[in-house]
Amino acid sequence: MTFILSEDQTMLRDTALAFARDTLPVSHLRAQRDAGEAALTSQAQTQMADLGFLGVLIPENYGGSDFGLVGMGQIMEAMGRNLAATPLVQSGVIGAGLVALLGTEKQKTTYLPKIAEGTCLTALGLDEGAHHAPLAITAKAQQTEEGFVLNGAKKFVPDGHIADIFIILARTDGEASSSEGLSLFLVPKDIDGLEVTPLNTLDSHGAAHIQFDTLKIGPEHVLGPVGSIYPELETILDRARASLASEMLGAATAAFEMTLDYLKTRRQFGQLIGGFQALQHRAAVLFTELELTRSCVSAALRAVEIESQDKAKLVSLAKARAGETLHLVSNETVQMHGGIGMTDDHDSGFYLKRARVLEALYGGEGFHRDRYARLCGF
């Protein structure tokens, strides 16, 4: 399997890098944090849509480019380098993917063009506890003559504070922890019975808790066949996990480069600190781990794009490896910057905080190591 980017993929990567650098630098996230905001400006969101980023995984006949997950991975890596808070994963990957894979023709024509245009943001209401557990669903959806009545809650919904449409996973049948009996519902943010509680998150990217009590929706809001959507949900979750691994690779790479620049310019005891062998060895370890992670992430993106039989294993390998690497690099970035790395004035703390959120999102290292082992037959 080759990991060389095509000419079009290279152009997309370069465009994303330039956009993130010029429009969404880390200083932009800092300004958002200081202003108590956790959403892109409408101008930045429009620019992102105009560049086609939100439509990369949407078919052309619905307003997208159908460019593929390897292309989305290049965009996510660029956003990760600058810690950009974007709706790309929740809307461009998960929302677009679920509607395209499970939606009726009317749902596709209604939502996909708006997602590509950036005028409809989605958020997946999945986990109900502190840890990622896509089968541990207790939210209920009871069928009635008019449609369904939803009761339950979802915790730490990424982009839940800015979503126009929630895609809620609820149990229409089956026992807890079973993959049978799970259904998806498209729920507008302003519907009666839905309560959204915005959260101030550690990484300043924003999220929300959502609660739904006797929430009544019609059958047109059902996404996919009732009670049997889990295989498709896992497919889209793996796309999201691979995209997040790309973002983590970008964040780790930027943090490493920032640290390397510091080693080359900071003087102590009459010489550059990069001249100390102990720090050289630590930097060499980081470089090696980053190269290994890049190989894992590239393999996962390609496997998902071509629907390889090993895609689930490679995605879990990439997410676990990216989490371990980002954890190490973000820690070393703070430590090797010394005292200034512990201050809010320096950007290293932003990378460490974002790292901790990305490590846990849609499965931490433990979750994906266990999943990888099970998929390998252990």
Statement to judge: residues 215 and 238 lie in one domain = no
Statement to judge: residues 133 and 150 lie in one domain = yes
255: domain CATH number? 1.20.140.10
Statement to judge: residues 277 and 370 lie in one domain = yes
194: domain CATH number? 2.40.110.10
- Residue 2 in any domain: the answer is no
Statement to judge: residues 135 and 113 lie in one domain = no
Q: Is the pLDDT of residue 38 over 90?
A: no
What percentage of the chain reaches a pLDDT higher than 70?
Answer: 99
Q: What digits encode the pLDDT tens for the residues 177-187?
A: 899 999 999 99
Domain limit, last residue, from 69, 91, 120: 120
- Residue 184 in any domain: the answer is yes
Statement to judge: residues 82 and 18 lie in one domain = yes
Statement to judge: residues 251 and 204 lie in one domain = no
Q: Is the pLDDT of residue 86 over 70?
A: yes
Q: Cα separation of 302 and 2, whole Å?
A: 9
Query: Model-level pTM?
Result: 0.96
Statement to judge: residues 320 and 359 lie in one domain = yes
Q: What digits encode the pLDDT tens for the residues 149-175?
A: 999 999 999 999 999 999 999 999 988
Into how many domains does the chain fold?
Answer: 3
Counting other chains too, the contacts that 302-311 makes at CB distance below 8 Å and 24 or more residues apart are: 302/1, 302/3, 302/70, 303/1, 304/69, 304/238, 304/239, 304/242, 305/68, 305/69, 305/70, 311/238
What integer best gives the mean pLDDT of the chain?
Answer: 95
Statement to judge: residues 273 and 365 lie in one domain = yes
Statement to judge: residues 69 and 156 lie in one domain = no
Statement to judge: residues 370 and 287 lie in one domain = yes
Statement to judge: residues 239 and 223 lie in one domain = no
How high is the pLDDT of residue 1? 54
How high is the pLDDT of residue 2? 60
Statement to judge: residues 237 and 267 lie in one domain = yes
- Residue 253 in any domain: the answer is yes
- Residue 1 in any domain: the answer is no
Average pLDDT over residues 267-273: 89
Tell me the residue range of the domain where 352 lies.
Answer: 231-375
